[in-house]
Structure 1
Amino acid sequence: MTSSNTAAAPATEKPPVSSRFTVGNILREPLLGPMVALVLAVIVFSAISDSFLNPQNVSLILQQSVVVGILAVGQTLIILTSGIDLSIGAVAVFGTIVMAQTAGANGPMVALGSTLLVCLAFGAINGGLVTVLRLPPFIVTLGTFTAIQAATRLLAGSETYRVEQGPLTFLGTSFKIGSFSTTYGVVAMLLVYLVMWYALSQTSWGKHIYAVGGNPQASNLSGIKSGRVLFSVYIVTGVIAAIAAWAALGRIPNADPNAYQNANLETITAVVIGGTSLFGGRGGVIGTLVGTLIVGVLRNGLTQAGVDSLYQNIATGILVIVAVAVDQFARRRSQ
């Protein structure tokens, strides 16, 4: 009886670490780049200014980010569906005027309800024009932005309305956590992000948003009501604009028709820097929160360094172009 030596099967080798952390793999993680950028920005500005990481300054960055940060959540939803909303800031400003004017005669609760209804109506108009008439979101919201901005000035008579302390300015009330002081507006912003993160990641509605944004034809074939999903996104964006209007009066208790002129562009900046693709179907609100903080840290740090605001705008614009270029590169590699 002959015997033969049986060779042991070679163990499966894991790929070397370098092959797992390639540029392509990094770019497929939309949150990684913004997180690295935020950490680097904090390190650089804390080295430049000793007061940058002081609790008071960190609190200031968060408070300055509240209104745009809340609006950026709505912008994220729109961009995830491969659209864009140029009117969301104008809707919020219109809401502040309605809130201030209504409160004087009817009280704060009626004012808050009226603002919610008005912002919902604007969201429904945008959603209806996009879904029913199938008009491009860019053109629709550009038109409504122009109309709402003019309507705001007509409604306000180009005047600024002072809002008394009370429920309408509640989100500007500060409180302390140990030695750290912040406002309820910051809490409201974080709650909006938490709710929308859950909705996008844990509900079928959120999955449908990604499906519609990523491939609308395939989503229709799979039975998803794309029109309903799109319309609901614009409705939710209207609700978010109403919350931002409330937060704006908490931040500065004046309803000014000329406030937040660049909010539309700032929300798009936060969303794009946060890694959400302008082509839809990729990204999320956590990235947008990071993008909002990056913009806030950049502006605050450059201000402390004595850099003129015009140069700050240049730096922000360059950052947006870089973010879009990275998104384009990542998209091409994934195809």
Structure 2
Amino acid sequence: MVALTRKDMGQFLARQGILVAFVLFMILFTLANDRFLDPDNIMGVVRSSAILGVMALGVTFVVISGNLDLSVGSMMSFSTIVVLDLHDKIGPALAIPAMFAMTLCLGAFIGFLVGYLKLNSLIVTLGMLSAIHGLTLTYSGGKNMDIDDMAGTWFGMFGRGDVLGIPTPILIFLSLAAVLGVMLAKTPFGRKVYAVGGNGTAATFSGIPRARVVFSCYLVSAFCVATAGLLQASRSMGSQNTVGQGLELEVLAAVILGGASLMGGAGTIFKTVIGVLILGFIQNGLLLVGLPFYAQYVVTWVIIILAVWLDIAAKRGGLWSPIA
């Protein structure tokens, strides 16, 4: 009976351990600083997490399909720099669709390499991380970008505006999450994504166009990255060339925290949103208790390791390997 109880506890922690840890973090942060649950602080955390969250929504499709995308940080830098540069040259009405088109071309190229040429997604996107960073520096000439006439443009509405008191980035994040959530859970395309990630060979023999599904997932990811770049550019009205550097790890951490499996075939948009909020509140809590901002990098690393461990543990039904 004791062994059964321990097994059940191990399986529970493997599946819900990250939520248990989040609840404990929330309790500790609330006790350490009474400002943690202040409505203004909560709204600020959600708003600051919106850009990361939008990127995580697209990466969720890629991860569920059984692949990775480590290029999203560099791609977001590229999108932000491009839309800022084109804003002053051709105006925001043309700059925004032009930026989306260019970013989607990058996503299509990655999708072609991974989907149709069947190259390893880790190697391809790791290489594209450097390639897109170089492309960004080449495009900008190594210079940062700023909008000249900040007061005379409506461009700031995406990152700085609000609707009925709710910041626009939050509305865009939640609206996109709702649309993509329905696409993943209720459409034939979503079922194909799960099938390809769960067992690609079986999906192919079942008549599912595996290459096309993977290609489409990278297009979805690129669209979300372009949206995040738009939010970032609109929020700051200027940007450094490296604004997205390192975000790929935070995005991946949020997706895995939300329950998406690195092995593919599992995950939901709703849980990814929860994963984004978990990461945002933990980072905010660390700052409120007085830890320096660079401590977030260590905590993010620990969270990634913990999330991967719990993901593998959930697959084998326990926290510890039976062989050990």
Q: Does 1:171 align with 2:158?
A: yes
Query: Given the alignment of the two structures, is residue 153 of structure 1 paired with residue 176 of structure 2, yes or no?
Result: no
Give the stretch that moved more between structures: 47-56 or 156-165.
156-165
Residue pairs, 1:1-335, within 5 angstroms? 22-23=8-9, 26=12, 32-163=16-147, 164=150, 166-175=153-162, 181-333=165-317
Counterpart CA distance in 2 for 1:288 and 1:277 is 11
* Structure 1 residue 285: Cα displacement: 1.7
In 2: Cα distance, 1:157 partner to 1:233 partner: 31
Q: Do 1:34 and 1:275's aligned partners in 2 also have CA atoms closer than 8 Å?
A: no
Partner Cα distance (1:100, 1:290) in 2: 31
CA shift in 2, pair 1:34/1:200, >3 Å? farther
Structure 1 letter corresponding to 2:130? T
| Aligned twin of 1:4 | none
Instruction: Kindly provide the amino acid, as one letter, of the partner of residue 299 in structure 1.
Output: Q
With normalisation by structure 2, the TM-score equals: 0.90
SS at match of 2:156: helix
Whether the 8 Å contact between 2:70 and 2:126 is mirrored in structure 1 is: yes
Q: Structure 1 unaligned segments of length 5 or more: list them.
A: 1-17
| Alignment size in residue pairs | 311
Aligned partners of 1:131, 1:333: CA distance in 2, in Å?
31
Once the two structures are superposed, what CA deviation does each residue of 1:73-115 show, in whole Å capped at 9, x if it has no partner? 1111111111110111211211111111111121101100111
Larger Rg: 1
Contact 1:171 1:246 in 2 (8 A): yes
C-alpha distance in structure 2 between counterparts of 1:304 and 1:248, whole Å: 24
- What root-mean-square deviation, in Å, do the aligned CA atoms of Structure 1 and Structure 2 show? 2.0
Local SS of the residue matching 2:162: strand
Percent identical residues: 32
Cα drift, residue 27 of structure 1? 6.0
Normalising by structure 1, what TM-score? 0.87
- Preserved contact between residue 80 and residue 232 of structure 2 (Cα < 8 Å): yes
| Unaligned 5+ runs, structure 2 | 319-324
Structure 1: distance between partners of 2:221 and 2:303: 25
User: d(CA) in 1 for partners of 2:18 and 2:10?
Assistant: 16
Q: What amino acid is the match of 2:45?
A: I
**One-letter amino acid of the structure 2 residue matched with residue 111 of structure 1:** A
The one-letter amino acid paired with 1:168 is F
Deviations 1:188-235 (A, max 9, x none): 011111111111110010011010001001111111111111111111
- How far apart are the structure 2 equivalents of 1:133 and 1:252? 38
